[in-house]
Amino acid sequence: MSDAVRNVIIIGSGPAGYTAGLYNARAMLDPLMFAGYMSGGQLMLTSDIENFPGYPEGIAGPEMMMQLREQAERFGLEVQDKNVERIDASTRPFKVWVEGEEFQSHTLIICTGAEAIWLGAEGEDEQKGRGISTCATCDGAFFRDQEIMVIGGGDSAMEEATFLTRFASKVTVVHRRDTFRASKVMYDRAAAHPKIEIKTFRQVTKWLSDESGLTGALLEDPRDGSTEELAVTGAFIAIGHKPITAFLENQIETDEEGYIVPKGFSMTSVPGIFAAGDVVDTRYRQAITAAGMGCAAAIDAERWLEENLH
Ligand SMILES: Cc1cc2nc3c(=O)[nH]c(=O)nc-3n(C[C@H](O)[C@H](O)[C@H](O)COP(=O)(O)OP(=O)(O)OC[C@H]3O[C@@H](n4cnc5c(N)ncnc54)[C@H](O)[C@@H]3O)c2cc1C
């Protein structure tokens, strides 16, 4: 067991975690971060970020995350590239187990994000963050005047398809059934759009590419196994996100999908435990909103320590 009780332990090293770390380090709280299995978070998967303020030429995701880390470390954030296995939220101070070792802290900030669910079709890994994306807001502008596809049948898929018509010359929505989870109004808006075609009873079994990037997808009809090729240079997978909260073992209130439910500003259902970024955000899921929430959680943790421990 590590002897010292920390003021703040930050779990997760995406934009939310590093921003929380920067604020708490500058407030002299000597924060400790466990960066987790994906040090740097989801932006490590993307080559170009054009919508984070401060980078007029855009920046590669891994480079930006390295800069966020450097900035927080410069003020004293201690980062360990390890995964938190579980926490005990019922004791004070809180306990955190990391690779068998126990740590204690007066406050925790959970910034473990939400993973986009990918299809896992053949050839997907090579095109992730290039021709294949899970975020239309982030990557739509890279596909101007191109034919692209959106996979999914829920509100997100309909919303992304409609949004992408601003850039793309054609958007094909591919869905494996002929019934849609999307609300009628969202479905109707997408279906009526002149640039959108909806193909039902189709699932992607293989991504097609050449040296220029994505060239299309092999679609299979699940009813009879027949196949067809769809030529596209971009694809957006919109089949949902999975917040990373299983390690909390239901000690903190989450909604039915697993997102942490905020209880007044950034506080969770357990006083002294805060959450920031995509793990609590069912709506925006952007780097800048995650960073903003990290700032808020750091300030809330700082004030909570002030009010409860001093
Ligand atoms: C391909 C792609 C492209 C994107 N492009 C853009 C873009 O251009 N612009 C934009 O604004 N947004 C973009 N996004 C969205 C953006 O990446 C997220 O909104 C943002 O990263 C969320 O930040 P976060 O800090 O909440 O969590 P994340 O970045 O998801 O980080 C979560 C962190 O938690 C850690 N973690 C998880 N479990 C544990 C554990 N048990 N113990 C310790 N650590 C743990 C992980 O290691 C990771 O470091 C993109 C996303 C993807 C997938």
Q: What is the pLDDT of residue 309?
A: 84
Of ligand 1's listed atoms, the one at least distance from the Cα of 18 is 25
Question: What is the Å distance from ligand 1's center to 290 Cα?
Answer: 8
Give the contacts of 161 (CB within 8 A, at least 6 positions apart): 150, 171, 173, 190, 193, 196, 238
> What are the respective helix, strand and coil percentages of the chain, to the nearest 5?
30, 30, 40
Task: Give this prediction's pTM.
Answer: 0.89
Active site positions, annotated? 135, 138-139
Alpha-carbon gap, residue 130 to 109, rounded angstroms: 32
Alpha-carbon gap, residue 139 to 76, rounded angstroms: 34
Of ligand 1's listed atoms, the one at least distance from the Cα of 279 is 26
**b/e 29-44 (16+ beta carbons within 10 angstroms → b):** bebbbbbbebbbbbbb
| pLDDT tens profile 203-224 | 999 999 999 999 999 999 999 9
Please indicate whether residue 140, judged by its CB atom, sits closer than 6 Å to ligand 1.
Answer: no
Q: Is 31 helix (H, G, I), strand (E, B) or coil?
A: coil
Alpha-carbon gap, residue 48 to 174, rounded angstroms: 26
Q: What is the pLDDT of residue 235?
A: 98
Q: What is the pLDDT of residue 98?
A: 97
**b/e 137-173 (16+ beta carbons within 10 angstroms → b):** ebbbebbeebbbbbbbbbbbbbbbbbbbbebbebbbb
Q: What is the pLDDT of residue 1?
A: 65
Q: What is the pLDDT of residue 2?
A: 65
> Hey, what domains does the chain have and what are their CATH numbers?
5-115+241-309 (3.50.50.60), 118-237 (3.50.50.60)
Please indicate whether residue 134, judged by its CB atom, sits closer than 6 Å to ligand 1.
Answer: yes
Question: What is the Å distance from ligand 1's center to 42 Cα?
Answer: 3
Of all protein residues, whose CA lies closest to atom 15 belonging to ligand 1?
286
Of all protein residues, whose CA lies closest to atom 41 belonging to ligand 1?
84
Please indicate whether residue 17, judged by its CB atom, sits closer than 6 Å to ligand 1.
Answer: yes
Q: What is the pLDDT of residue 47?
A: 76
Q: What is the pLDDT of residue 45?
A: 79
According to DSSP, the residues that pair with 203 across neighbouring strands are 220
Instruction: Print pLDDT tens along the chain (310 aa).
Output: 667 999 999 999 999 999 999 999 999 999 999 999 999 999 987 878 999 999 999 999 999 999 999 999 999 999 999 999 999 999 999 999 999 999 999 999 999 999 999 999 999 999 988 899 999 988 999 999 999 999 999 988 999 999 999 999 999 999 999 999 999 999 999 999 999 999 999 999 999 999 999 999 999 999 999 999 999 999 999 999 999 999 999 999 999 999 999 999 999 999 999 999 999 999 999 999 999 999 999 999 999 999 998 6
